[in-house]
A = this chain, B = another copy of it.
Amino acid sequence: MQDSKSVGVVIPQYVQIDKPLQLKSGLSLDSYHLVYETYGQLNAARSNAVLICHALSGTHHVAGVYADNEKSVGWWDNMVGPGKPIDTNRLFVIGVNNLGGCHGSTGPASIDPRTGKHYGASFPVVTVEDWVETQAQLAEHLGIKQFAAVVGGSLGGMQAMQWTLDYPEKVRHALVIAAAPKLTAQNIAFNDVARQAIMTDQEFYGGNFYAYDTLPRRGLRLARMLGHITYLSDDSMAAKFGRSLRNGELSFGFDVEFEIESYLRYQGDKFADLFDANSYLLMTKALDYFDPAGSYDGDLSSAFRVAKANFLVISFTSDWRFSPERSREIVKALLKNKLNVSYAEITSSHGHDSFLMTTPCYHQLVRAYMDNISI
């Protein structure tokens, strides 16, 4: 087994982009900034750069820890690091917080230079295409003309796909994990209930809660609780919680009774203090909007005609949010274009969250694929 250590202490960096950004919505941003982290070293040929795109609640902090908080481990620290499947001994790995996020990049909680107030509800709706555009600006800033790979899970996988469509020359490999070519009605429905929970919270104030020195915690908590149900598989919830009672016996009341209730409420409470409600709306909207085949009458293979990248597509058996069937749709469209695609459906009980787990054959697969990328 290879010697695996964490990347260690990392320091976020910022880039200010003063070039106007034309958004898909028709609106534009005069300027914006992005927070990002890098791990490993960019080689002389600048041919070993790998971009990691985060998902709904993800951040630029992909791996390592912060000096002042050893518990602040990056969300994909098990995947990215020296000797890990995405090997920072060999690769230069970049994590960036997307526009509209709430971890340092320009977003609803940022101050709008035009008004001097928080963007709040006036922050424009952003799409996956907009994000790729900003990530391309970051690449330019770092002197990277082409990525060895663009990697992402879930919404991150959608960004990886979009890279191959918008910048076919700039991405050699795309790793599309636990993703889908577009959301189903059921996916959109869950997102809309989450949004409505936030937007009907009396402390949301139409998105301008900053001015009232409050947070729409109730709504964001509900949104997160609901999200968690969709991230876990029925079986894993049964195995982990089943019908276990918190206090050993029925209470005939409405406080926490079952362990699953305790878990969800804990997750919800934690999240409500950490994540910006407006960012949550924007992230779910970007998910809903992603639909490359939409401009091609629903024909995904037509959408992928421009792509040149090599693909690794991965799905997980128990993922019912973005099921293996969704990944197979992607693979079929890629094959129709005679693109190089490797596909694996990994047996896992962890549901949609599987892409964050360390299932051995999943990590071995990513490692093998990444090791095979010439830099």
Contact = CB atoms under 8 A, between A and B. Distances in A.
- Interface SS majority for chain A: helix
B254 A195 contact: yes
Interface stretch (A37-45, A156-164, A239-247): A239-247
A289 B251 CA distance: 10
Interface residues of A, number: 54
A200 B265 CA distance: 12
How many copies altogether? 2
Contacts of A281: 254
A222 B240 CA distance: 27
A373 interface: no
Nearest to A195: B254
Given A237-B184, A260-B185, A193 B252 contact: no
A226 interface: yes
Given A185-B237, A189-B237, A222-B222, A258 B196 contact: no
Contacts of A243: 182-185, 188, 291
Interface in A178-229: 182-186, 188-190, 192-193, 195-197, 199-202, 218, 221-222, 225-226, 228-229
Contacts of A306: none
A281 B255 CA distance: 12
Contacts of A185: 234, 237-238, 240-243, 258, 260
A192 B264 contact: yes
A112 interface: no
A26 interface: yes
A25 interface: yes
A222 B200 contact: yes
A124 interface: yes
B189 A253 contact: no
A288 interface: yes
Contacts of A260: 185, 188-189, 192
A189 B222 contact: no
Given A185-B258, A189-B229, A252 B25 contact: yes
Contact of A196 (B182, B196, B225, B288): B225
A188 to B, nearest CB: 5
B254 A186 contact: no
Nearest to A237: B185
A196 B243 CA distance: 18
Nearest to A258: B188
A281 B257 CA distance: 14
Q: Which of A232, A254, A281, A288 has the most CB of B within 10 A?
A: A254
A190 B229 CA distance: 8
Contacts of A238: 184-186
Contacts of A250: 289
Contacts of A182: 243
A321 to B, nearest CB: 11
Kindly list the 4 A-B residue pairs having the minimum CB-CB distance in the complex, ordered from nearest.
A25-B252, A185-B237, A125-B252, A200-B218
